[in-house]
Amino acid sequence: MTESLYSMEECERVARLASLRYVKDTMPGITRQKQGDEFIYFQDGKPLSDENVLARIKKLAIPPAYQDVWICPYENGHIQATGRDKNNRKQYRYHPLWFKVRNQQKFTTMIEFGQSLPLIKRHINRELNKPAQLNRAQVICAIIYLLYHFNVRVGNTVYARQNKSYGLTTLRKKHLSLKRNKAILNFRGKNAKLWNIILSDKRILKILKKCEEISGYELFKYVDENNSLTVVTSQEVNFYLKNITNYPFTAKDFRTWIACRETLCRLIRCNHGEEAADPFNDTIKQVSKLMGHTPAICQKNYIHPDIILSWKADSLRDWADKNRDKIARLTDDKILLLWLKSNKKRTK
């Protein structure tokens, strides 16, 4: 079971795509009571005896130590169970199909994201080129700049509070060091990854300096229309991206894009004559280090499956050879977009 880091909107959208029932654990459900070494399950106040439902519950493998356990009464509920662990953290067990569809969705919108990147960059540059202010647009644009250029997570208050691991929106002033011509962000991220980001862009430095000067321990704050200080949240960043692009992109799309871009470009640049002993695994290790994950998780969750398949089928190298002249003139972002479009045509 895992902590829920997904918004209600994302849960509902993916449930609909997976043809699952969208549920909440505030709905009436199945509960359990310990009796000796076993659990007795109850629905509508009565002991549960349906063997099929009991078998489904057993497969969920809910840890015995969990308290306040709620089990979905529906086999097709997008959440199958919730409970609280020994640290009183709420944990979720999602339907396997929900997870599968959600992971697939990461990659189905990559062409649209790649096509929107120039628009996002233009918008960010336009805001950052203005005199440094503590308004909402400029502070959020500084965060998006860091998302793209440094592959940092956007941040989640759950992780910051419970694990003392940070992302951009949960950074504190103690994580920032301002020097004369540079700034350093030094913090512990998810999976205990240590980040040491050195910034020299004068536009970002001016915004960081203003953020540091205002009250409160949080780093990224802005002055709202009521002249109140407001801490930027990950939801605000996602909402801002949606307003720029008219598409429901999120901060997570940057990490998926960067992982795919780095994997693709490193693979097609493998030296044909002096190949590493295992160029694919070497590349996955390099990219996983960049992402702050294990190679297995990086490959499963961040890298487009067709990049992996085309490498193993040796068609990726053929594609790179065929498009060599075009690739030589393109940025890495445009190389990935070119491959995504070619792959879409090929797999239609």
Decide if 303 contacts 263 (C-beta within 8 A).
Answer: yes
Q: Is 24 exposed, middle or buried (0-12, 13-18, 19+ CB in 10 A)?
A: middle
* Residue 127 pLDDT: 97
pLDDT digits (tens, 9 = 90+) for 58-81: 999 999 999 999 999 999 999 999
Domain span at 95 = 8-102
Helix H or strand E encompassing 345 = helix 332-347
Supply the CATH number for residue 63's domain.
Answer: 3.30.66.10
Same domain? 278 vs 184: no
Confidence of residue 148 (pLDDT cuts 50, 70, 90): very high
Same domain? 234 vs 257: no
Cα 240 from Cα 220, distance rounded (Å): 15
Helix H or strand E encompassing 265 = helix 252-268
Out of 78, 102, 126, a domain closes at 102
- Strands 194-199 and 183-188 come out as antiparallel
In terms of phi and psi (left: phi > 0; alpha: psi -120 to 50; beta: otherwise), the region of 314 is left
Same domain? 129 vs 239: yes
* Residue 44 pLDDT: 93
Residues sharing a CB contact under 8 Å with residue 266, sequence separation 6 or more, in sequence order: 283, 286, 287
Same domain? 298 vs 211: no
Out of 226, 245, 264, a domain closes at 245
Mean local confidence (pLDDT), 320-333? 96
Same domain? 129 vs 212: yes
Q: Is the pLDDT of residue 12 over 60?
A: yes
* Residue 4 pLDDT: 54
Supply the CATH number for residue 141's domain.
Answer: 3.90.15.10
Out of 220, 245, 270, a domain closes at 245
Indicate whether 109 belongs to any domain. no
Same domain? 151 vs 207: yes
Q: Is the pLDDT of residue 11 over 80?
A: yes
Question: What is the residue-averaged pLDDT of the chain?
Answer: 91
Count: domains in the chain = 3
Indicate whether 111 belongs to any domain. no
Same domain? 237 vs 141: yes
Q: Is the pLDDT of residue 191 over 90?
A: no
Indicate whether 3 belongs to any domain. no
Map tokens 């953290």 to a residue.
89
Same domain? 225 vs 149: yes
Same domain? 193 vs 271: no
